[in-house]
Structure 1
Amino acid sequence: MTPDRHARSGADEPSADPSGAARNDGRRLEGRLLDGRYRVGPRIARGGMASVHEATDIRLDRTVAIKVMHPGLGDDEEFAARFVREARAAARLSHPNVVAVHDQGADDGVVFLAMELVAGHTLRDVIAKESPMPPARALALLEPVLSALAAAHRAGLIHRDVKPENVLISDEGQVKVADFGLAKAVSADTQHTATGGVLIGTVSYLAPELVVDGRADARADVYAAGVLLFELLTGRKPHEGESPIQVAYKHVHEDVPLPSTLVPGLPAYVDALVARATARDRGQRPADAGVLLHQLRRVSTAVVTGVREDPDLVADLMPRPPAPDTTDGTDTGDAADPDDAGDASGAVGGDTGELTRPLLRPTEVPPAVARRGDTAADPWDSGEMAALLAPSGAGSPTAPPPTEHTRTVQVPVGAAAPPAPRRTRRSRRGLLALVLALLLAAGIGTGAWWFGFARWTTTPGVIGLDRAAAVERIEAAGLEAEVGPRAFSRTVPAGEVMSTDPAAGDRVLDGGTVTVTISKGEELYDVPKLRGMTEDEAQDALAELKLEFGGSTQRWSEDVPEGIVMASDPKPGTTLRPGAVVDLVVSKGRKPIKVKDWTGEDAGTARERMEAQGLVVEVTDEEYSDDVAEGDVISQDPVGATLFKGDTVELVVSLGPELVEVPNVRASGVDAARDELEALGFEVETRRAAGYLGLGYVFSQSPGSGDRVPRGSTITLTLI
């Protein structure tokens, strides 16, 4: 695994940088130990707000990715607190298509996230190599992205920066969405532009409402996903410009083009899916990524089965055109609707060439807004952005008075000027025309009623019901019920409905399908029996159950081989939530015993000490020894070796010197006595008695006859 093969994050796309620090990190992090735990390695990616380094978690001995906020951001206590809060929210996400967040912290002003390291490449690399790609391939790549976003939206999180650089593809082909650590938790106090009013996010994927007023909900992620699909299908971004503000301007004032305008031959329902996801009026977009995922699967099914045309699917997906306001004969572009930023801007719409007010071109940036030194990587304050991009309709205090150049005109695009009308005399054709007009109006009204209201119904509420009751209620409403894959829930008991797609109260075609998700209850796992596995096998078994390996303790064992798990903490069968830590006790094998050399020492003491160590002591022989005292060890086998419990040590114990009985040599001649004693191994000394007569006979001996003395002892003979 080398740094250049790691998936990058946010390194290739201009993004808003609240501090300008993206151009100079100001610190040398490589080699530094963060929080006493993470040894920072080489940098593998760089974005507008942070850089990503490979790092080693020295506590768990694993490789992770460390995302470090650029200098200056970590010094802002408000930002740091918000970052920590959002990191905790992101860490709650547990989904196979989401890059896991392991830890967060701060170390001497360095605010960081510890994340799962994904070895592979980014979706940007795939786009560069394969786009424009077939619809089936594009939809298959986007599906896991939407699955990850749907999980986040269900948890109340908005990503806010969906782009190809944040979609990682591992070497095994698994798709994962990164950077949820910078997402905003959905709440009343977070519905504003992050980082003190400075626009966060990559301009090419920003939803219009984010550009205008900085407000975002799940539909902003839906918009970015739609732009992503457009780029996969065409190999191009829908809006391009020389600076971020030009691109942002186009997002507000221009619809995303249909992909088929760049890649002819794409099915109309694929165009409709892109148009629905990227509608400038966020009210016409899918409510969240879960709804868009359902629509994508319908389109994917049509593509895979080879359907070329599906008018019903197109009609169901294509955004509805805004209803014209004809109270004064002009179309105001629905300027009163704050959510419809596109129509309120006065953009050209439809085939009629209708223009409600002058259009400020992207290159015509007013001098009061343009700033010295602005580049593609510069941040744009949301107030400035709103001043430039918000519509200047009648409600604006600076709106210019209407002139003949701003009147609504209805001229077909590309058509010649209409000829001067000529008078015709009244005839019966006038009455016929009136009847036809009435019939046409009635037909149009009936069609509008049918397509707009009559064929639609609402999804009934079935949350909390069991499967049978939910299916019965849905079918009673004239809809088809489809039971999707079960999912875990901490709040909904097992066997009950936890969600539906579409959600309760949402509009759905009469006779359409409602997908029901049944709860599997709280996600809990029993600690498996790990004894007898290798440490690697035990870690794999824990990972399969979404349990975390904490660490291992080494212990001696006489019956478990080295490297094999002896026990776990908690014990097998203990029920835990995903992410709970399990520690292991691993065998070090048999405990070695160093054998002491007991030669010359008391054999009884030697036996007692060695048996206390678990060794078996055997006395194999007892021998006479003139040098080793009786009861001491003459020799042992083995000597100085390393043994294990149950092994045998053999001892040879001394009987002391061998004793010989002294014979009676009194009255014997000195020569005969000497020969007899020396034959028995004695030394002989002679001395004369006090009244020595010179006879040469033994008068007395010492030791006396019958005494037992060691062989080699000296016998003293007294001669007369």
Structure 2
Amino acid sequence: MALSWQLSSSANVHSIVMNTMVADALLGRTVDDRYRVDARIAVGGMATVYRALDLRLDRTVALKVMHGQWAEDPDFLSRFRAEARAAARLAQSNVVGVYDQGEWDGLVYLVMEYVPGRNLRAVLRDSGPLSPALALSVIDQVLQALDSAHRAGFVHRDIKPENVLVTPDGAIKVTDFGLARALRAPSSRTGDALIGTAAYLSPEQVSGEPTDERSDIYQAGVLLFELLTGRPPFRGDTSWEVAKQHVNGSFPQIVDFDPSCPAEVSDLVADATRRNPHDRIPTIGEFRARAVSLQSGLPAAGPLLTSAEEPTLEATADYPLEGATTAATPAQPTERDSGGPEWRRRISISSLVIALVAATGLLLWLNPLARSTVPNVTGTSESKAVGTLQTAGFAVDASGSEYSEKIPAGKIIRTDPANGANARDGSEVTLIVSLGPERYKVPGVRGETPSQATTDLADTYLSVAGQRKKFHDTIDVGLVIGTDPAKGTQVKRDAPITLLVSKGPAPVSVPNLNGISESAARSQLADVGLSASVTKRESDTIPEGDVIQTIPASGAKVFRGDRIELIVSEGPPPVAVPNVVDLPREEAVSELKAAGFKVEISEGVVTPLDRVFETDPSPGSLAPAGSTITISIF
């Protein structure tokens, strides 16, 4: 009877036995002479979390120990230390506090506030969708945590139910601030892996574009969607299929899952999850204000109550979790209840027989000696690879992804263990799925300082190769005009980008304006962005009103907006009228013409002396050269 129970419940027995048989070397040890490890409470893809006692301050803490490969990555360690120090400065009631960080005995650890209760994933699994009022109450507390972080310069980038903790009294606390950022940059250990959970990635995270506070707004909108519907917005056979839907799919409407949900609440989710970051709710503060306003118009919701259990169901060897039990450990009867030593012996023998039969059945089922060759699934689709590996008797983890220049997006790059390796039947094979070629859009940096532009390019995993100076009519000297390659160009990670920096407006040549009219000269100067001032000057050769010369001279280099001086002719200078009175006619005419005048003669009917008796203008007065002098003859 015991054997049939073992076989029919093999999955459960396997889970219990494996969790209780695999010892955790940290349990019972003291980390860094300060933190006594009492229990393992959660295991994730990148870290294991323990409940520990801070012996120095006598308080219970959560000890997050990163998996071994991170301790060997100097790039990650540097970011981890910096982000931990920054996260420790976050002090807000909805943020899980960070107390300490360090490295000890080859381990990298983070000490955080211990929060009894469960994560939001477990709560939703048990409760199903929440009422709109309760969902808004939960998201309000998440947004308070994010608002505090954004004000301190933090972007979370990994908002999901697993990172939202619910205390026994219903309070909400957000954890892992700074960790997503420390894991975000590619390094010798992460390669080009895409960090994040596919169901909650923002479109810009999937596309490899720069992320900011608006990515948190999108993920908070996805979380609110799941609170209201009980499921994430996108599903697919593979994580890659789910991720692509954030970029290419249409975000589903709440009404399709719950027609009774108020339209304003559905609109709030839609506005937070717009594909283009510029179209989303602009700030966490505005998101929260709308959520609070909507909540006030709904029937009051009680707190999201949960138990005080730790967020794990496993019990570890030699150090079972508090309150954890296993089917293999029946309660022992007392002597008073059993009736005497003979009955105890009978029970002991029966128990031993049952245990031996159960253990034999379990060993037959587990067959720890059975091993198989990992099949080659490189280049196949994720769904086909999962099917092939499962058919071969392996469990599959398809959460890994990397960029690849050779393997198309959605296809398998490699497995761990590698194809051809001999692995235990039922063990886990990790798939690394291709994201396709790693490309990043060159961001727009026009109008920024070179320092700002360099930072923006670095945030997009691009580098600055140098600067090239160019003239520009509107961009101030020293600011960035653009880049080479241009904004929006898709380039490889770390591609060298040249900054085009303004030298100000380009110089222009002063046009040749000599001999043309003043109005025509002004027009030509305006055509090349120059203005004019005018100075009048006499000229014997240039007609009145025409340009004699320019200052600077024609051909000189000047800048747009400069003023050019036009020297404009007033005509020739005036000439003194010679005194020709009492001179004979011919001699007077000759002298006046020699002085540059024209001559007109006025005479009577009889001119016995044929001499000049007066001139008009009179002798000695000034008259324009070329003007007419009238002489009177008698």
Q: TM-score, normalised by structure 2?
A: 0.45
